[in-house]
Amino acid sequence: MRCWIFINLAVLAVKGGFATLSKVPQKMWWIFPTLGIIEILTVSTFYAAVNAIPQPAVTGFLGNLFPLFTTIMGIAFLKERFSLIETAGIFVVFAGALLTSFSGNLALKDFFIPGVSLVILNCLGAAIATVIVRAKVNNLTPEILSFNRTFWLILFFSAWVIHTGIPFTFTKTAITNSVIAGILDPVLAMLLAYKAYQYIEASRGTIIQSSKGIIIIPIAYLFFGTLPLPHQVAGGVIAMIGVAIIGFGQHAANNRSGKLAPK
């Protein structure tokens, strides 16, 4: 995580983020700890879900609940348009997520695979953060938002490690993986995601992200030699179709009203 903070600091310095940060009105500073708390929730539940769900691709597929929650919140809080097509998409996403989370046991207590509730919390937190960013991103640069995320995460997890007394172990593999994760997470993933919110609506901006479950399958197989069950793949594909339907409905509604995505 220390690698993350250095990368974010470098990006912030290169992009002139410190000068921009100094101009942020005090009335907007509430957004930093608020987003920090949400990010702590989402990251914690994500890694807990990864540990609880053996198949990484399944976690990715269930992540398609994120655009469902984002769409609903975008409608409620950002006044984004809603149509019957999007309603159908929401039901399709829900059906796909339900199939993906099915354990194979029809008994009510064992119907869902372990860890589903953690993914739901993760997606709900991510959706809340997305809506907040979507509403405020014109005033806060993606570099600032990415740095804020990393700052609160390293603060929380450093305190957690000290509190629990977990020993630090530094190996060549651990350092290499940390550097790779530091580049992929705060620089490529979150920075580009925040950047995207400057140009597209929150509900539409999640469409491409819905494909991560499919992308994870070959990577997970390469590293772990595991594959999700056929019905889980089917559920993931169904959820992806639902997300695409939501995006199509949003696009059609905007075309009818003559409204374009913000530039």
Q: Could you write out the DSSP letters of every residue in 96-136?
A: HHHHHTB-S--SGGGSBPTTHHHHHHHHHHHHHHHHHHHHH
Residue 262 in domain: no
How does pLDDT run along the chain (263 residues), one tens digit per residue? 555 667 667 777 777 777 777 777 888 888 899 999 999 999 899 889 888 887 777 887 887 788 778 878 877 777 766 678 877 887 888 888 888 888 777 776 777 888 888 989 998 998 898 888 777 766 677 778 878 888 898 889 889 888 888 776 767 777 777 777 666 765 666 666 666 666 655 555 556 666 667 777 787 778 777 778 888 889 888 888 887 887 777 667 666 665 544 43
| Residue 117, CB-side half-sphere exposure with 13 Å CA sphere | 3
Total structural domains within the chain: 1
Q: What is the largest CA-CA distance in the chain?
A: 59
Residue 223 in domain: yes
- Distance, in Å, from the CA atom of 62 to the CA atom of 33, rounded to the nearest integer, reads 27
pLDDT at residue number 121: 92
Residue 70 in domain: yes
pLDDT at residue number 261: 44
Task: State which residues form the domain around 234.
Answer: 2-257
Q: Residue 186: which of 138, 151, 159, 210 has the closest Cα?
A: 151
Residue 151 in domain: yes
Phi-psi region of 250 (alpha: psi -120 to 50; beta: other; left: phi over 0): alpha
- Distance, in Å, from the CA atom of 38 to the CA atom of 132, rounded to the nearest integer, reads 11
